[in-house]
Amino acid sequence: MTESTTVAEATTVAVATQFDLATGLAESVPSLRRPLSAMTGMYADTAAFEAAVADGDPLTYEFYDMGVPALETEIAYGTSITYPGKVGDEYHMTKGHFHERLESAEIYFCLSGRGLMLMESPEGDVQVEEFAPGRAVYVPGRYAHRSVNTSPDEPLITFFAFPGDAGHDYGTIETKGFRKIVVDRDGEPELLDNPRWVG
């Protein structure tokens, strides 16, 4: 990256990428891997979080950035894999983000696993949709979105697509958190107020 303003150039060549439907992974492209330690401050049970990080810092999710030009006419895409597990009674989840161009929507198509898409607008409206194999979840513009794996043993694997110029705002979630958390209550997901949410 240079200091000068760069103008993204539109794609002109088709690209094919083989993903493994069983793992969600592509051998030809490096994934972005997020160990639990990347989630500091995000899980409610700090003691359980610190203990799990000290005890091997497990990979909790990974996903792909395919390097699509940041243009509204292009489509950014990839897979996202959230591994099963809990921190205390809170399910493994992605960090989640708003889009920098806030009104940009996104589609997630669940390839395997079980989970929830947790969504929240800047005004505090919360929406939740279920992931199951073959289920498409449309995230409307203006909503931060976080994938939550509610399965005891299966990775949650999704294929996602969003406008190339959407961009990512992770900072707001890093600072404030989501208003809700998803915990395991006798084997079923339950939505609770986030005790660590910064209003």
Instruction: Kindly tell me which residue out of 117, 148, 156, 181 binds a second copy, with binding defined by CB under 8 A.
Output: 117
Other CB atoms within a 10 A radius of the CB of residue 82 amount to 28
* Positions 57 through 116 that interact with Mn ion (CB under 5 A): 106
Site for a second copy in 34-63 (CB under 8 A): none
Nearest Cα residue to 147 out of 188, 189, 198: 189
> Distance between CA atoms of 86 and 93, rounded to whole angstroms?
9
Cα–Cα–Cα angle for 41, 94, 109, rounded to 5 degrees:
165
Distance CA 21, CA 13 (A): 24
Nearest to residue 23, comparing CAs of 65, 79, 78, 67? 79
- Least distance in angstroms from the C-beta of 187 to a second copy: 22
Min dist. Cβ of residue 120 to a second copy (A) = 11
Q: Which two tokens stand for residue 37?
A: 């330690």
16 touches, from Mn ion, a second copy, none (C-beta below 5 to 8 Å by class): a second copy
105 binds, among Mn ion, a second copy, none (CB under 5 to 8 A by kind): a second copy
How many residues make contact with Mn ion (CB under 5 A)? Answer: 1
Give the interface with a second copy as residue ranges (CB under 8 A). Answer: 10-21, 66, 68, 72-75, 77, 101, 103-107, 109, 111, 117, 119, 127-130, 132-143, 159, 161-164
